[in-house]
Every structure is written in C-alpha cells, then in structure tokens.
A and B are shown apart, each in its own frame.
Chain A
Amino acid sequence: MWRYLGRRLIQVPLVLIVVSLMTFLITRATPGDPVQIMLGMQTSKEAADAMRAEFNLDRSLPEQYVLWIGKVVTGDLGRSIRLNDTVTSLLAERFPVSLQLALAAMLFALAVSIPLGVLAALRRNTWIDYLCTGYTVLGFAVPNFALALILIYVFSIRLDWLPITGIGSSEAAAGGWWTYIKPFIVPAVALGTLQTAMLTRLLRSSMIDILSQDYMRTARAKGLMPATVVIVHALKNAMIPFVTMATVQFGYMIGIQVTIEYIFAVPGMGSAILNAVVTRDFPVIQGFTLVIAAFFLFANITADMLYALLDPRIRY
C-alpha cells in the first residue's frame, strides 16, 4: 500500500507543473499589463520599467516561468504586484478562512445527507423518500449563488435571524464561539447544498443496493436489533463510497467557493483570486491556483487511501 501511495505522490508534482504551466500561459498570453493597472496611466516610464524589472516581467516568457518555478520549489511564491505582501503570507491569511468555510459547508452536508439518505432508503416510496428525492433534485438545480440570495432574503432580511457578513472578522472572533460561527451558517448552507444533494443521492442508492444483499438477510436471521442491522451491517458498507466522495468533494470545494465568497465578502482564496484576475496580479493568480490544485490532488489521494483503509477487501 505504501508503494501505491508513493506512486501517487510522485504524480503530484507532475500534474502541478502542468497546472502551473497552464495558469502561466493563460495569464501571460492575455492582454492587460499589471504594472499599468497598479501604477495607473500617468506614471513615468522609469517607474514602470523599474517595477517590471522587479517582477521579472521584462524577461522572456520561458525565463519568467523557470525563474518562478525555481522559487516555488524553495517555497517562495513571489510577491503580489498589487498588494504589498508576499504571496505566501497572503495565503496564510486567506487559506484558513476558505478552509473553515469549506468545513462548515461539509459539516452541513454530512448532517443532512446521512440521516436523509439512510431514512429514504429504509422507507422507500414514503413521504420521506419523496422529500429526499425532491430535495436532491432541487439541490442539483439551484446554483449556489441563487440559493445564497434566497437564503439571504429569507433569513437575513425577512427574519433577521442570521448575519450575512463578518466571517473571520475580529469582532466575530472576540465575541465567543457562537458569534464566530453565526456568519458561517448562511454561506455554508448555500455552498454545501449541492454537495448535500450529491451525497444524499449516493447514500440512498448505496443503501438501497446494500439492503437487498444476502448478508443483510443473514443479519436479520440472527435476530439482531434493527438499529444494529442498519448501522453496523448496512451503513458500514455504504460509508465506503460515501466517505470517498465526501473527501473528493471537500477538495473541490475551495475552487467552487468563489461566488459565495464574493456574495458574503469572505476574505478567502476565491475572492483573492477574483481580485487578482481583475488586477492582473500574476504571482497571486499563479500561487493561489497552484495551492488550490495541490489541495485538490491531496484530497483525491486521501480519498483513495481512505477507501483502501475502509474496505478490507482492497489491499494494494
């Protein structure tokens, strides 16, 4: 198994190189001069040239790429052109916030999908099953930003129960854990609904399949309590694909979060990239996408490892 893990880990830098190349090409091959955007139209040529030299923008493209990769390998992701900070420290600010939001969304997804999926499979063709199907259908159909607007309208404006800004702000941190969590709720629900729909559907169909298996009949023939039968015998089998998908979804979430971060003014990775794209802040774009891609890759690898761990039949 360790050899398999090793092989997967070796592939990571390769994929990351391709990703970084793609990002690099996209950013450099498109119009828009970051220096001009940063300094404005009125600056002198010398100032502009100086800045360009500082960021290596006056070198040839391949040179720029090699220089950048060289620095990345040593851990230096460069400096932001626009903001007066290293990319790494920007990351350190923004990544935890995005991570927390993704976690919150995931928790929501798990809290809803597990009971709903299991109950819908146990009580097929009853109201709970129809509720579940209806919920999943809607969950797939509503884009997360649309849902966000709806939730904001209902919960913040009409009912005034929940705030819509203030994630990660200092007041929130100072006010105790409920004050800290409150601003996460609406965005987490908006972000996590698609995941919930996918996970619920997966769990429900896995459970339905499992419940018709022979070993479930054996479990019942042993006279075991229904809770044992469902949780220990059925759910344990269903959790294998479930956990895998949840992990992969989690890895993906940071990339999807962009619109939610935008709506709720979350100081996370997505909004940072958004700004960076507008201002042509190349180092930020490159550095952040690299990290997001790496995160996704590691999530995938973790999912595979978890699968092997959970299913005793798999031994690499």
Chain B
Amino acid sequence: MALLAIRNLRTRFATDRGTVRAVDGVSFDLAEGEVLGLVGESGSGKSVTALSVMRLVPEPPGQVTADSMSFDGIDLLRLSEAQAREVRGASMAMVFQDPMRSLNPVLSIGRQLVEVLQRHQKLDRPAARRRAIELLEMVGIPLAEKRLAAYPHQFSGGMRQRVMIAIALSCNPRLLIADEATTALDVTIQAQIVDLVKRLTRERGTSVIWISHDLGVVANLCDRVNVMYAGRIVESAPIRDLFHRPSHGYTLGLLGSTPRIDGPALRRLSPIEGLPPNLIDPLPLCPFLPRCRVSVAACRERAPERRDLGREHWASCFAELNQRTP
C-alpha cells in the first residue's frame, strides 16, 4: 500500500494571458521509506506538484483537481482547510529553497521551532524548548541552547537550511518534501545537507520527495526518479536505470548537459536548445518535440503513450532509445 498515491493531478492557474497548466496529468506512487526524485527544469511543474500535494496552492487563482490523491489513507482532495492544517507540518512537511527568505526574519529560530511543536504535539513551552534543543543538535547545530534566541540573519546559509530541516522533521512526518533544498547553497554545504537528510530520513523511515534540477544530488540520494517536463512526467525509473538507460529525449538532453566528474576532461556540454514550453495552449503532441534531438516521424503525428521498459521503468517517448524486451 503506497504512502502517497496520485492519479492524474492537474493544477491550473488563471492568469492575464490565459489558463496556465502548471501540472498537466501527473500520476505516481510513493512507497513508505522511499526517496523519490522529481527532476526537471524551471517551470516543469515540480514545485507546483509538491505544493498541490501539500494543499498550499492558493485557490483562486489556482485550481487543483485529480482523479485521486491519497496520503496515508487520507483523501487529500476532500480535505477542508482546517483538516489540511492538521496534516501540514505534522504528517507532511516541506523544506523550501532559499532558507534566508523562508525563515521569518523577526522571529527567533527557537520561536519558529517551538511553535510547530506546540501546535501539533501540544507540548507546553518548557517541553517544547527542550525538544527544540534536541532537534537543533540532531541537525548538527552546535551550542543549540544559546542558538534558540538567535535570529535567521545571524546564521549562515547551511545552518539555516539545517534549521528548516529541524522544523520540518520536528513532528516526525511520514513524508518530507524538499523543494530545491540545496540549490541556494555552496557545493560543499550541499553535500553536508544531503548527507544529513539521507541519514535522518533513513533512521526514521520517512518517505522523501526530493525536487531538484541537479542530477548529481539526485543520483546520490534517491531510489527512484520522475523526470518532469511541461507539467507532465515524461520518464520514471529506478535511479541506476535512469542513468544507464535514459529513454526519453528530454532525459537524454539533461544527462548530456550535466558535467560529469568521471567523464572525459574536455567533453563539450551539450545544452538543450530552444525555449520553454507553452503551458497555456499546448498542442496534443509531445511537449518536448520542438527541442528534441531524437524525434521520429510518429512524434509529429500524435502524443506518445507510456511505454513500459521493464523493471519499473517507463517513458512517454516514441524514440526507441533503449530497446529492451521485458
């Protein structure tokens, strides 16, 4: 029984220029303890998917619909706002991209930690404080007790993100969503944070959705990856399979444009040419077609269906990049 099961999620936004289809038919499952990567460029719909799951999409101007979306037995679509508030922060938590902007500058970090504990675990102040100190130590912040009174601007970027992680994990959520959590950090700090998340979530069996456009981090951390483009998942595979048998034009492009430390030293990166897709009025074809280097005739005639490539790997692509008979 999957922890999170999403079928045909569609999130749309009404704008001046028309209705933007930020998420256009996304379906996937997430098992308990699984670390799922959600990869794609800016605007591919990864963040909006996460926000839709968390019911954080403002409706209006947004509109979240799906055939079904269930988490731990709860029907996420039917939740009232009050019920959603019980779930958020407690069973489902999120870490955002820029910890400087994601923490309230005028509240001490102790305050920002304690309030979650008081809200969901109904702890009184002293108990919440003690727990907050434990949490800070858990994420590797030294002198935790003194740090409770400190403000976000007094921390470095990496420390702030650790605080965010502490806040997110404070109530032992079943699901942690990390939206570009390391993108705004130094590379060395990135590694530390990734290790921290890995360790903490493995210890607790927390499921993770890791959103990133950085394939390197994803390779390190995730069990499975969903590649998104133009609001849809175009390929889904276990992590090793994705790198060894990329089966979609976009995945190929992504891999080709990622520098590799173990590759030939002077290999030229091949960026993906072209412009981002039209999310308002998409044609009923593969959305990646205009930028694809491996397109075939069929691509211009109809939209691709999912092709099962065995071993829990599928892709919506006509180009038979890695033929493998199941």
Which residues of A come within 8 Å of B, CB atoms? Answer: 213-215, 217-225, 228, 232-233, 236-237, 240, 310-313
Contacts and interface: CB of A to CB of B under 8 A. Distances in A.
Given A215-B102, A215-B103, A215-B105, A223 B85 contact: yes
Interface string B149-173: 0010100000000001001000000
Given A222-B115, A224-B85, A217 B90 contact: no
8 contacts: A214-B102, A217-B96, A217-B102, A223-B84, A225-B119, A232-B107, A236-B106, A313-B151
Max chain A Cβ within 10 angstroms of own Cβ: one of B56, B102, B116, B119 = B102
Contacts of B85: 223-225
Contacts of A215: 101-105
Contacts of A222: 88-89, 93, 115-116, 119, 167
Contact of B88 (A220, A312, A313): A220
Contact of B119 (A214, A223, A240): A223
Interface residues of B, number: 29
Contacts of B115: 222, 224, 228, 232
A310 B85 CA distance: 30
Interface of B: 54, 56, 84-90, 93-94, 96, 98, 101-108, 115-116, 119-120, 151, 153, 164, 167
A242 B104 CA distance: 18
Max chain B Cβ within 10 angstroms of own Cβ: one of A214, A222, A237, A312 = A222
Contact of A224 (B94, B96, B119): B119
A223 B102 contact: no
Max chain B Cβ within 10 angstroms of own Cβ: one of A214, A218, A312, A313 = A218
Per CB-CB distance, the 4 closest pairs between chain A and chain B, nearest first, are A223-B89, A223-B88, A222-B89, A214-B101
B102 A218 contact: yes
Contacts of B86: 223
A123 to B, nearest CB: 13
Nearest to B105: A313
A219 B234 CA distance: 33
Given A223-B85, A225-B119, A232-B115, 5 more contacts: A215-B101, A218-B103, A221-B56, A222-B116, A223-B90
Contacts of B105: 215, 237, 312-313
Name B's interface SS.
mixed
A224 B103 CA distance: 14
A232 B56 CA distance: 19
Contact of A218 (B96, B106, B119, B153): B96
A235 to B, nearest CB: 10
A312 B87 CA distance: 32
Contacts of B107: 232-233, 236
A224 B102 CA distance: 15
B94 A221 contact: yes
Contacts of B116: 222-224
A224 B104 contact: no
A221 B106 contact: no
B104 A219 contact: yes
B97 to A, nearest CB: 8
A214 B47 CA distance: 13
B135 to A, nearest CB: 14
Contacts of A237: 104-106
B106 A240 contact: yes
Nearest to A224: B119
Contacts of A232: 107, 115
Contacts of B84: 223
B243 to A, nearest CB: 32
Contacts of A223: 84-90, 116, 119-120
A233 B104 contact: yes
Nearest to A210: B104
A225 B88 CA distance: 11
A213 B103 CA distance: 10
Given A220-B88, A222-B167, A224-B115, A311 B106 contact: yes
Nearest to A240: B106
Max chain B Cβ within 10 angstroms of own Cβ: one of A232, A237, A240, A312 = A312
Contacts of A228: 115, 119
Nearest to B50: A221
Contacts of A233: 104, 107
A213 B101 CA distance: 7
